Amino acid sequence: MPHSVLKHSEYLVNICNEHWVKYVVPVLIATLLYATSFLLFVLAGTSAHHYMWLSHTTFIVGMLLFLFTHHWFFMVLLGESLDKIIITNRRLMRVHYRLIFHEDILEVSFEKMKTVEARKQGCIQNILHYGTLMFEINKACVSLVPHPNRIARVIQEAMQAE
C-alpha cells in the first residue's frame, strides 16, 4: 500500500478504469485457443469408433488446452478488472494487480509534479478515445487512460488547488 499514513484532508476526486482496448489481445488469443480445443474435441469424436487410443489422446490434449485457456483467460480478466486509476486532491495512483504474478502501484504526488500532458498517438487512440498522461514531460507516464484530456483537466484542477 502506498503511504502508510494518510495525509490530512486528502479526499477522492475521481476513479476510472483503464480503457477497454486492453481486453482485445487476450480475447483474440482465447478465441483462437478455444477454437483449437473445440476442433480437437471434434477430431476425438470422429475417430472414436475406429481408433480408440488416438481418440482418447486427442480428447485429453483438447481438454488440457481447453482448461488452460479457460483459467488463463479468466485470471487475465479478473486481474485487469482490478486495475484502476485513482485521483485524489493530492496524488494520482495507478493500481495494477495480476493474480499471483504481479503487483504494481504507481504513485504521482502533485506536490512534486506540477504539469500534466494528455497525449493521443495514432488514429486508433483518437478513434477509441484513449491515450497517455505524462507528468513533467516524461518523468511519469500513465497509459491506457480513457478520455485523457478530461482526466488531465481534473488533475490540473487538483494541482492548482494543492
Partner 1 sequence: MIAALAFILIVQSLSLLLLLVNFRIFRSQARKYHALLSRFGDETGWGSPGRILMPVYIVLTMVLSVSVVVLFIWQPHFF
Give the shortest CB-39-to-partner 1 separation in angstroms. 14
Considering the rule CB under 8 A, would residue 34 count as an interface residue with partner 1?
A: no
Give the shortest CB-101-to-partner 1 separation in angstroms. 10
Of 96, 58, 99, 93, the C-alpha closest to 78 is 99
Judged by CB under 8 A, the chain residues 3 through 32 that form the site for partner 1 are 6, 10-12, 15
Considering the rule CB under 8 A, would residue 100 count as an interface residue with partner 1?
A: yes
Alpha helix locations (H) across 47-138? 52-81, 122-128
Q: How many CB atoms lie within 10 A of CB 17?
A: 15
The binder of partner 1 chosen from 21, 33, 63, 128 (CB under 8 A): 63
91 burial level (CB within 10 Å; 0-12, 13-18, 19+): buried
Considering the rule CB under 8 A, would residue 36 count as an interface residue with partner 1?
A: no
CA–CA dist 155, 149 (Å, integer) = 10
Considering the rule CB under 8 A, would residue 141 count as an interface residue with partner 1?
A: no
In order of 29, 34, 38, 64, 132, the CA distances from 67 in angstroms are 14, 9, 12, 5, 35
Task: Using CB under 8 A, list all residues that contact partner 1.
Answer: 1, 6, 10-12, 15, 41, 44-46, 48-49, 52, 55-56, 59-60, 63-64, 66-67, 70-71, 74-75, 77-78, 81-82, 84, 86, 88, 95, 97, 99-100
